[in-house]
Amino acid sequence: MTDTLDETHAQVALAALNANVNLTSSRVFDGKVPDPTPDPPYVLVYTHIGWPRDGIGTALTAQQVTITTTYTCHCVGLNAKAARAVAMEVRSSLLNLKPNITGRSCTPIKQDDSQPPDRDESTGRLVMDAVLTFSYLSTG
């Protein structure tokens, strides 16, 4: 491994969500919900790190310098109201947060998409899952 930039960028949202005392009881999971599946509420976060090759992602030296970090947050509750409540806490934790990463200049986190709570019975019981997507850019 040559650097830790990808993991540093991934940890921004996980740290912010875990710092929200209203989500402490909800639990924040990074990419996988434990087995057996815990009772809701909880947040499942998928992180994608991209290094775009054109436009804003390329320096005058032809080096790729921009990182795009995207978080897909599944806000899970026992009913639609509970899923929305988790989603509100996720939004309040991430929206407009400006990451501070040594050696990088970061934009504030923006919300790219949201989906209303949807039925999810994949765990063997009915839960509601509201999905929010956030992202930010950093350059170095």
- Structural domains of the chain, with CATH: 5-139 (3.30.2000.10)
Task: Tell me how far apart the alpha carbons of residues 21 and 9 are, in angstroms, rounded to a whole number.
Answer: 22
State the chain's mean pLDDT as an integer.
90
| pLDDT tens string 51-66 | 876 656 555 666 678 8
Q: Encoding tokens for residue 134?
A: 């956030």
Q: How far apart are the first and last CA of the chain?
A: 19
Tokens 């989603």 label which residue? 87
Chain segment 7-19, per-residue pLDDT in tens = 999 999 999 999 9
Among the ranges given (24-33, 93-102, 127-136), the one the predictor scored with the smallest mean pLDDT: 24-33
| Cis peptide bond upstream of 34, omega within 30 | no
Which candidate, 49, 39, 42, places its Cα nearest to that of 135?
49
